Amino acid sequence: MEINIQNVSMTYPSGKQALQNLSLELRSPSLIGLLGPNGAGKSTIMNILTGYLAPTEGEVKVAGFRLPEQAQQAKACVGYLPEQPPLYPEMTVQEYLDFVAELKGVKHAQRKQQVLAAARRTGLEEVLPRVIRNLSKGYRQRVGIAQALLGSPQLIILDEPTVGLDPAQVIEIRNLIRELGKAHTVILSSHILSEVQAVCQQVLILSKGRLVAVGSPEQLGETLNPGSRLRATAQGEPDTVLAAVRSVPGICKVELESAADGQVTFTAESEDAADRRAAVSRALTEAGCTVLALAAENRSLEEVFLALTEKTPEQEAPAEGEEN
């Protein structure tokens, strides 16, 4: 199964442009993290993929079906869990899943089998007779994921699936998402960067309606650094140590971490990706300081995300219909 997004732009009636010339190709099975600050376009792209919105420009295909022209066929290939699961608390789990299966057009002869299969995959078999309002938040999220699985979708979109869960429930849902990623294309939209790093094989970062980075969490941490960084400890006076490092050509930022017992620990950032460890060591030695430790550091996914999605005033307010 493939998802093809070519030159897609979306402008809301207010005039706010939510997506700008977005192009992307995804293949199944895979587990993809969708990241971006509020107003970056995450909800817009999810709504386009689920058939709820039509782009202003560009072409979108899900499993070969063009949106919005073949919306009915495309929607049959997509399962969606919104941030607030569309549950009916007065129903039992069994009643609710039967109801959703009927809405999705699952044939009566296949309905029981599909509901049981979805319940089994999400660990709901024992609570099928229970009323939804009496379930824990973790189990209600499982019910939301189970309804997304009905109809045998090839693409599953999960919007903030672990929000409000306790740590044990978060682990359970993450394990479930990993299992789903083995057989489906799963798009996980989350504000929790550590969650995306722990679960996803590929990460998409949106900023101001544009796709600014694509890659595995490891690749983003290693290759998308705005500049290289090193961390070191040296013996000497703090002012002398920091001045020596700042004198190295290409070093643009030096921060003191600690200074005690004659030992100074600091970080230094370069304006590019060049390795300046040798130059820093030489400068410290020439200044009469002794280098005790010196190592390069990669930026974390959180730092890369912040560097690529710096907010501007116009980004503070989400576009119409865009909440996250």
Shortest CA distance to 99 belongs to which of 134, 143, 139, 155?
143
pLDDT tens track, the chain, 324 positions: 889 999 999 999 999 999 999 999 998 889 999 999 988 999 999 999 999 999 999 999 999 999 999 999 999 999 999 998 889 999 999 999 999 999 999 999 999 999 999 999 999 999 999 999 999 999 999 999 999 999 999 999 999 999 888 899 899 999 999 999 999 999 999 988 888 988 999 999 999 999 999 998 877 866 655 557 899 999 999 999 999 999 999 999 999 999 999 999 999 999 887 889 999 999 999 999 999 999 987 667 777 788 788 754 444 445 555 555
Shortest CA distance to 259 belongs to which of 229, 288, 281, 292?
292
| Domain over 229-297 is classified CATH 2.30.42.10 | no
CA–CA distance, 21 with 180 (Å, rounded to integer):
30
Architecture of domain 2-223: 3-Layer(aba) Sandwich (3.40)
| Cβ–Cβ under 8 Å, residues 80 and 157 | yes
The segment(s) of the chain belonging to CATH 3.30.70.3190 are 229-297
Cα–Cα distance list, 291 to 252, 258, 275, 287, 298 (Å):
20, 15, 17, 11, 21
Residue with tokens 């044939």: 107
| Cβ–Cβ under 8 Å, residues 101 and 115 | yes
The segment(s) of the chain belonging to CATH 3.40.50.300 are 2-223
